Amino acid sequence: MTTLSRSNTRDLERRYRRLLLAYPPTYRRAHGDELLDLLLEDAAPGRRVPVPKEAWGLLVGGLRSRIVHQATGSAWRDGLHLGITAVAMVNLAALLPYVQALPLWTLLAALALLAVLRGWLRTALPLTLLVGVKMVGIASGRQFFDVTPLPVYPNGLSEAALFETSDPYLVAASYAVVLIGLVVLTSLRRPVRARSWWWWAAALPAAWAGPAWLAEEFDHPVSLSRMAAEVVALGLAVAGGYLARDPRWALASGVYLLIVSSDLAFHAEQLGRQHLAYAGILLLLVTAAALIPFRQRRHCLD
């Protein structure tokens, strides 16, 4: 083998290894080299870039493998945990535009999310309760635990003051959902799985209020970045239900939809046709996630 062809093979191997990151780490450690061997044996001499068909096959295969690996254990317990993880992430995201004014409470909300993500339910409970009480206090103009100058002004992530367009009941509801879920899961005395670190990445688009959609026409604009994150997450829930024939993602999506629909219902008088379209898209995706696990089998091994 010439120096040039060895260099080409190394490039190709490196690129295929990157694509193999789509697979769960356990699968990659056990069988990654086996797949890589086959990919390199099939490669045309001198090729440096993965064949598109192979690249797509690895991405889809990896996603499928990740989803199927998730669909183990009790579906409703795992679905509930996933749902409260999403709501805890949104609760943290609501504070990120005010981190400079509320560093301690944002840190506590982040620790609450960390505890939920790692499955430390008994730690997550008091943290969520503490932050929830403080936030309901701010939303209702009361000072709990420490003195917070009101209104709380935002950084570049938002233009509105904290809970300016919200209501104490809505804030209480979003923390109550997490707390109820944590109480139920704790009472079962069964461990829950640790969740992906990617949840931290979802907090930023959920926190960013811009680019705002409908800001000119309505008092209750919808953040396009948050909408995109929601559509991607609910789309993954549909894919999960389709591939694994499992309802856990539908349950989690339903828990999340509860919070979004409460918010829209509260602002009912300020909503337009576009808001209904937004709610309709989310509802459609959640309904699809709920029904798709029961789709007809195409063949006996499907």
Partner 1 sequence: MPRGTSEVSEPMYFVLTALRAGPLHGHAISKAIKELSRGRVQPSVGTLYGILERLNERGVIAVDREETVNGRNRRYFRITDDGQALVEAEARRMQEAAALVLRPSGA
**Which residues are at the interface with partner 1 (CB under 8 A)?**
30-31, 33-39, 41-42, 53-54, 56-62, 64-65, 298-302
Q: Are 222 and 213 in contact (CB under 8 A)?
A: yes
d(CA 112, CA 237): 24
The DSSP element (H or E) to which 36 belongs, if any, is: helix 25-42
CB of 39 to partner 1, least distance (A): 5
- Residue closer to partner 1, measured from CB, 39 or 82: 39
Judged by CB, which is closer to partner 1: 30, or 232?
Answer: 30
CA dihedral 108, 250, 298, 66 (to 10 degrees): 0
- 68, 239 Cβ separation under 8 angstroms: no
Q: Could you tell me the smallest distance in angstroms from the CB atom of residue 239 to partner 1?
A: 14
Nearer to partner 1, 40 or 188 (CB): 40
CB nearer partner 1, residue 122 or residue 298:
298
Closest CB 240 distance from partner 1, rounded Å: 15
Cα gap 48→142, rounded to integer Å: 63
Nearer to partner 1, 187 or 296 (CB): 296
Instruction: Report in angstroms how near the CB of residue 7 gets to partner 1 at its nearest.
Output: 19
Give the distance between the most distant pair of CA atoms in the chain.
75
Query: Shortest approach of partner 1 to residue 136 CB, angstroms?
Result: 47
The single residue listed with the structure tokens 């979004």 is 260
In DSSP notation, 167-230 reads -HHHHHHHHHHHHHHHHHHHHTT---PPPPTHHHHHHHHHH---SEESTTT-SS-EEHHHHHHH
Nearest residue (CB) to partner 1, 59 versus 176 = 59
Taking the complex as a whole, the smallest distance from the CB of residue 43 to partner 1 amounts, in Å, to 10
Cβ neighbours for 53, distance < 8 A, ≥ 6 positions apart: none
Nearer to partner 1, 58 or 84 (CB): 58
**Smallest distance, Å, CB 63 to partner 1?**
10
Q: C-alpha distances in angstroms, 139 versus 81, 114, 164, 172? A: 26, 24, 8, 9
